[in-house]
Structure 1
């Protein structure tokens, strides 16, 4: 056997126990962090020692969670994106997800008509929007939520890219447990730490959970009425504007630059219409919307549907900071309420790119003076329009969406 192969095998034999030792040492640091950092904060918020010990009984670090930065390591942009909301638009709007959320949503609209009407009267949020969020978050309570909330929040609070945020959420989860809000053994979460049927982060539960069935409790785990009321309350307190829609699919002529996208470039909807932007299928914008502010939104640049959205679209983004998420909710809500079909414009195939490659592209744009919103590997609106501006400045046709060939061009 060649010497190089023997050396490699020897190194691997040594590295496996070394890795186990390193993880064991980190686990010890984790236990110390819980005692020295989390327990004093929890105690100050009224959490008892019994609740604290019960929450972390048998809990260890979950090394499979994304965006971890173990002690002694440095943060790196991951190659792939685990969260669907930041992936390819066409995949996010797969037919199964859209039609499933729509068909069950219509049944739920009938089953909970009185609750939805009451919540709409009190919050101003349309029932079909609440239903669409509920469907996306937990499949109307049917999706399994598999993780231990204290394991997830503990891991991410101790060693993630947003450690301070998750530390605060961990303390909030302990407050929920102390107050007895959750049914026994119900503190399960998503891999991001979200709880119950509306998938509230713990702090959101403390701030926005509402009693929709009049029993004096806000139970987002078992009560569908409380889930509906809690979602409506959340959107209301984040600024939902009653009487306004979320947005409209439009056609954008080539004379209108895709670099005009973004919530900081709003103008009255009548002005967008005067520029030649029309609703699809020739339908006019509602008269009452014309003087209201609208924003161009092109989540796939020139490679897919375009929209004029209202401030309510950005309220939906407060629920989940993703253009695709907010668009999914608005679209499914329209299908539930009005029987609308697919988008008029299809999503063109776009090449799969690693987050790390998009981050390189973003750094190249930053070096040229563009504000991309951070080199995180996620093509948000600032990155999309920066790509378009770079394309226009260099004589290229503006698509406002990352493509694999751009990485090398921007690295130079």
Structure 2
């Protein structure tokens, strides 16, 4: 029955009855009070430590979320840099090709220019004889005109080709400048992305370091938490031992008082019996004296009869006590314990609702009880019913009885009863 908080342990300290032996009880109570104060101080430290752990876990979670965002940004930047590198390589290949094309165009231009110069020189050097040859060799004026047109078309072709190569060269140069500018732009973007990546990588490293520090702080606080839990558990055991000691002192005091009362009653009975015997003897002696006097009076006068009768009446006064008698035949007397009840619902057991007991058994009405300070399996006799300690949650001296329903647990309320250990 793990729903009970440690505060129930503190409340159970109040169960110690003031009728215990004064010297020992006062010492035990003082020890309980000191142990309780130490436990409360550790509980306060534990709460602060747990709050610190929650705060660190929250900050660590925020840093991890931020780190995930940074990693996403970093991946995006790396993808962007990779794309820019691919673009840069493509532009470099394009620029290389353009430069090659430009060199080819320049070579073609030079070759065409040289051929054209040769034709022009030939035409100017042999223009007169050429035209005369064309005139005499032509079969007709029409043939002459055709030959002249061919020469004209050849010259025009040379001029057109020269213009074309010039345009091609200019276009290639323009494209080369454009690609070179695009290449520079890509390099600038690469540098910008690289700078961003470096900045994000620094943030990633700083965030990683922050998370590591949070984790180290959390581990340190968890170590402190475990130490405090160990101390609190040890103090709980110590308090239960002190409570058991106080109950034993109380039980011993009650047994001693009961024995003293029995001895006193026996002494009073013996004294009363002796007094009654003495009174009877005195009455008998008085009666004998009266008889003797009567005989003397009878001898003095025969006519006079004197009868004497005496009677004695004794009254007995019995005293009874309303105090409950300790019956040691039921087992070892542990003391007068506080009784409550619980069930397996979420109200009674919280997050452990519907589960088994702390000892691993299935809680059963009429059998299962919860109490600290004794081993699991300890059998206790309470109001004539035998129960087995199978659960925890209450301090020694406070028995929680398992019920089949929450209404039964509520209806049970809170009681007190003498408790005996059977085994």
Considering fraction of residues, name the structure with more helix.
Answer: 2
TM over 0.5, yes or no?
no
Normalising by structure 2, we get a TM-score of: 0.18
Q: Which has the larger radius of gyration?
A: 2
Normalising by structure 1, we get a TM-score of: 0.19
For CA contacts below 8 A with separation 6 or more, give which structure has more relative contact order.
2
